[in-house]
Chains A and B, each alone.
Chain A
Amino acid sequence: MKRTSWFNVTSLTLGFAFLYLPMIILVIYSFNESRLVTVWAGFSTKWYGELFRDQEFLDAAWVTLKVAVFSSTLATVLGTLAAYVLVRAGRFHGRTLFSGMIYAPLVMPEVITGLSLLLLFIGIGLDRGVFTIVLAHTTFSMCYVSVVVSSRLATFDRALEEAALDLGCSAFDAFRLVTLPIIAPAVISGWLLAFTLSLDDLVIASFTTGPSATTLPIKIFSAVRLGVSPQINALSTLLIAIVTIGVVTASIITKRAAVAQARDEQAAARTA
């Protein structure tokens, strides 16, 4: 039984504990009866009820959702176009520079991105609020989308587009009717990525927000500064649940599609 040696089991346990123990503790304490975060006083869901009665939290959740939907949609459109141009335009002068600039925000410190956007918004006299957060989130999540989509486009058979042109499509029709449906899974996962990035961003949002718009991460952060309340635990547990359900659903869909395809291909090989 080499495969389940004590060393392997121990390192696996420790690794997963390191990753997930904090979250598990957070989830457990969200069901705590006591107001004190560190003292267990019995099971209760009352903090979830309190959370949904708290108008401030609900407002923040609504702002966050709006920002995430708008910014990820905008980022997906722009990121997909950027990826398409990068992969399809061939070698033009300054291509390396251009693709480098697309990817630079990935490694740029968020503080810098946030600060520079803040200075820009002040400079052009834009009132800070939901709109400015959407713009800021679009800027930084767009490059994630373009990375995801361009890696799909790189393996995309160019002949498919040529076939569409050959059969009478204009370039735009070829993209709309052939390219886009085929790369759709990558575009959707790019959108999901942008959406989650926007959901949990604190740094850039706090630089670019105004008094009118408070997102959930900002709300949590400021609430924690006044002391951790069980409400925050409940809110975080809900966020974890949403993200988990999203990820699990996405992976099940992908896996099912792959299995179905493999089965179809086997069936085709048999009838051949």
Chain B
Amino acid sequence: MAQTVFAPWTEADQKPLIEFRNVTKRFGEFTAIDDLSLKIYEKEFFALLGPSGCGKTTMMRMLAGFETVTEGNILLAEQDINDVPPNKRPVNMMFQSYALFPHLSIWENIAFGLRREGRDKAFIDTRVEEMLRLTRLTRFAKRKPHQISGGQRQRVALARSLAKAPKLLLLDEPLGALDRKLREETQFELMDIQEKTGTTFVIVTHDQEEAMTVASRIAVMDEGRLVQVDTPGQIYEAPNSVYVADFIGDVNLFPGKARARPEDTQIAAAAPDQPVSDQPVPDQAAADQTATAPMAEPAPSPTATPPEGPTVARLPAPDAKGDWLYDKIFRRFLGDRTTAPRRLPPPNAEELAAPKPEPAATAQPAEPAIKPGGIFIDWAEGQPPIIAAGGDPAMDGREVTYSIRPEKVTIDTVRPDRPNVYEGKVIDIAYLGNISTYHVELAGGRMVKAQMVNARRLANRPITWEDTVWVGFTETAGVVLEE
């Protein structure tokens, strides 16, 4: 791939098109923007993302000139624009409500800004025609805004704001009023137009999918501050805080306490006898394979449907049924469920192999396939700690949160051979067609979401409600966050 990557923010000598310098905005007592600094570069498609009230709209309105800056400066092409009124800024805005002038035709709407500039008629004609072609609106030119559909109005608004060829185009929730399918199409149109015109776009949105799709960089905002400014990939895969991880996409969060993991695998391997024999490895062949396949794989684990899968899976079934039976019938006579296990038959071999809530379980990392170093996270009483290879051993003893995306969590009917494996029960299945999200309740009540691509058709999927399953993830699949 010889193509140069567009990343002006990584080059030190690049001059930003826009610069916020310690900008603060207060409305009376309320601080909407709190000492914020940010650089946006030419030709970027920059997204301001956050929940309502986070200050993203205020930032956009300050760029357009509709709000004054309380403290600090905003620079456009190295010129301070604090005192430039909106009609004198080389910045145009596409409004959330589109704000098309209802008494003017589509053509006149697009020509409005050019006429104010006092351009001659020929120039206006060609420019408006060009804009109409770009947004595929030529045949609607004579209509009034209320005579066209929502998607067409959106394109008129875009054409009108682009007609003056601004240095910077601001888009305030530009696709909020469109239905989902149209929105997706329009996202690609927007990207296409942005590329064709070479204009810098700044988009405000609360829709993280939209931001991920269109933007070259995303600024995640919260309460008037920037939490993280990064590319969509980095924001998703390497969030810098629980807030970002939780706001972008779906996530499993395990708050817990960090504990340094021995750097040297030799030490761990030196005392393997007891703990390793205690290791629940139902399939020895699979254990050997782990050495070659330890990486995070969003795809469903191949062990999910082995030929003998169903038979093996059925083994713990009596327990689940017994549990159900107990819940439904016996609880009335026998009282609380905590006494129930004593009444059940002695555990079989499979169950004996299951992880015991023992302190000795800390020896788990002896598994040679697991990357050395990193940290353990003790997140629940009686559960083995999470092994996080990405964790900094310096975090030892601190409160941390382990964040892992559902698509990086596998779900199996037999215990898989993964560094982090927990047993649980399927409570809910959200079937979305292409993927399914399983809500699994672990012992102790914690819910974990695991996502599986539905590569097979419905009848072939082995996991259903109330099933006892194993959720697993690799030591590198998640991110350790500190608040």
Interface residues, chain A, CB within 8 Å of chain B? 157, 159-160, 162-170, 173, 178, 181-182, 261, 264-265, 267-269, 271-272
Contact = CB atoms under 8 A, between A and B. Distances in A.
Q: Which of A162, A173, A261 is most buried by chain B, counting CB atoms within 10 A of its CB?
A: A162
Nearest to A163: B99
B116 A169 contact: yes
A162 B66 contact: yes
B95 A167 contact: no
Given A160-B99, A162-B66, A167 B92 contact: yes
A173 B101 CA distance: 14
Contacts of B117: 168
B149 A165 contact: no
Contact of A165 (B87, B101, B161): B87
A136 to B, nearest CB: 35
B99 A162 contact: yes
B151 to A, nearest CB: 7
A173 B91 CA distance: 19
B99 A268 contact: no
Contacts of B298: none
**Secondary structure dominating the interface of A:** helix
Contacts of A159: 95-97, 99
B147 interface: yes
Given A157-B97, A159-B99, A168 B164 contact: yes
A256 B136 CA distance: 31
B93 A166 contact: yes
Contacts of B160: 163, 167
A162 B91 CA distance: 13
Contact of A169 (B87, B96, B144): B87
Interface in B139-195: 144, 146-152, 160-161, 164
Nearest to A261: B146
Contacts of A157: 97, 99
B116 A268 contact: no
B102 interface: yes
B64 interface: yes
A264 B147 contact: yes
B102 A166 contact: no
Nearest to A178: B101
Nearest to B111: A167
B41 interface: no
Contacts of A269: 149
21 contacts: A160-B99, A160-B101, A162-B99, A163-B160, A164-B101, A165-B66, A166-B64, A166-B161, A167-B92, A167-B112, A167-B161, A167-B164, A170-B87, A181-B103, A182-B102, A264-B147, A267-B147, A268-B149, A268-B152, A272-B150, A272-B152
